[in-house]
Structure 1
Amino acid sequence: MRKILLSLALLAFGAAQASAQQQPPGGRLGTGLPVPRYVSLKTDRVNLREGPSKDHRTAWVFQRAGLPVEIIAEYETWRRIRDSEGTDGWVLHSLLSGRRTALVMPWAKGNQPPIPLLDRADDKGQTVAQLEPGVIANIKGCDGKWCSISIVRDRSVDVNGYVRQEKLWGVYPNETVE
């Protein structure tokens, strides 16, 4: 009887390992949505925790609604996220939005000149605004090279235009966003 139970346990273990090996890297977990993926913060106050429960210590508090973050793991109702500076931790899924946003060149330091927001997806387009590094942009769409974005200048005026995709953190290289 022990040999049969041991054999069944080994078969079950082997099946579990085979299933785990068939899971593609960065595959689908929990929600069935791809991991990693970009989302944004829903509110002005989001606690970043050391683990996936409210029992874990708050390591950081984000205070910028609309900030893009990357989901890098899922566990039940918790999402492990990473920001543009590489800080990562766990947040409740209800504090995240599927709305796509991006940061304009958050890696730029010092005397980086402003990034032109153009009236068309072409380097020869007319400049409609100058964007400082760190500005949050609402993504309207991306074709893999250019993104159509809007910037809320004040609470009532949106500025719309195009920027090269590689100048944004919140979209993957060559990613198409509709």
Structure 2
Amino acid sequence: MNATTVTKSLAAGLAAAILLLSGPTAVTPVFAQSAAKGASGLPLPRFVSLKARRVNLRIGPSRDYAVEWLYTRSGIPMEIIQEYDHWRRVRDPDGTEGWIHKSLLTGDRTAVIAPWKRGEKQVYVLLREKPQLGAQLTAKLEPGVVIKIAECNGKWCRGEVQGTKGWVAQDEIWGAYPGEAFR
């Protein structure tokens, strides 16, 4: 084996290691929308929201598994990360993971305003009339507020909070992937 062969082998091994280590958490926005498909035929991961007002988050994909958490509000966004039969493994805005029956989820899109900023004093995310920085303000939203999302263009999302409509910067919400566009 000469030095060139050793170098090529090392480069190939390094490339393979990088691919293995990148895993699903390093998915780029393009892959996030077209990556794996679940048993339902829909892409994984993807965002949905809670349909029901009371939803049990279980530690496994069956009613036989213990309830780890109880959600008491509909509309909370969830990220589906795995599917098994009629069960969906989800992640909530705080990073908690568990299993929810698919009948308790809806494809309606919602998002949480900057959950990573909760607890900071006098921090607001701005809702604007148009999808641009200088546009007129329609509301100042506190971190943790849930917004119904109608569409995203990759940089801005149009939504509604308690009857007030407007656009929010896509990087200020949890409920749409970076660069994701939909209507």
Q: Same fold (TM over 0.5)?
A: yes
Q: Distance in 1 between matches of 2:43 and 2:122?
A: 34
Q: Distance in 1 between matches of 2:65 and 2:126?
A: 43
- 1:1-178 aligned at under 5 Å gives the runs 26-108=35-117, 109-152=119-162, 158-178=163-183
Q: Distance in 1 between matches of 2:38 and 2:152?
A: 25
Deviation at 1:113, TM superposition (A): 1.8
Moved more, 105-114 or 45-54: 105-114
Q: Distance in 2 between matches of 1:140 and 1:122?
A: 17
- Normalized per residue, the structure richer in helix is 2
Q: Considering only CA atoms, is the larger Rg found in Structure 1 or Structure 2?
A: 1
The Cα RMSD (Å) is 1.0
Q: Kindly provide the amino acid, as one letter, of the partner of residue 83 in structure 1.
A: D
Q: How many matched pairs?
A: 149
Tell me the residue number matched to 2:17: none
Q: Which residues of structure 1 form unaligned runs of 5+? A: 1-24, 153-157
Tell me the residue number matched to 1:11: none
Q: Distance in 2 between matches of 1:85 and 1:78?
A: 20
Q: Distance in 2 between matches of 1:88 and 1:71?
A: 10
State the identity as a percent.
Answer: 46
Q: Distance in 2 between matches of 1:173 and 1:72?
A: 17
Deviation at 1:112, TM superposition (A): 4.4
Runs of 4+ in 1 over 3 A off after TM superposition: none
Q: Distance in 2 between matches of 1:111 and 1:64?
A: 25
Q: Kindly provide the amino acid, as one letter, of the partner of residue 81 in structure 2.
A: I
**What SS does the corresponding residue of 1:138 show, helix, strand or coil?**
strand
**What SS does the corresponding residue of 2:36 show, helix, strand or coil?**
coil
**What SS does the corresponding residue of 2:103 show, helix, strand or coil?**
helix
Deviation at 1:29, TM superposition (A): 1.9
Q: Distance in 2 between matches of 1:52 and 1:138?
A: 28
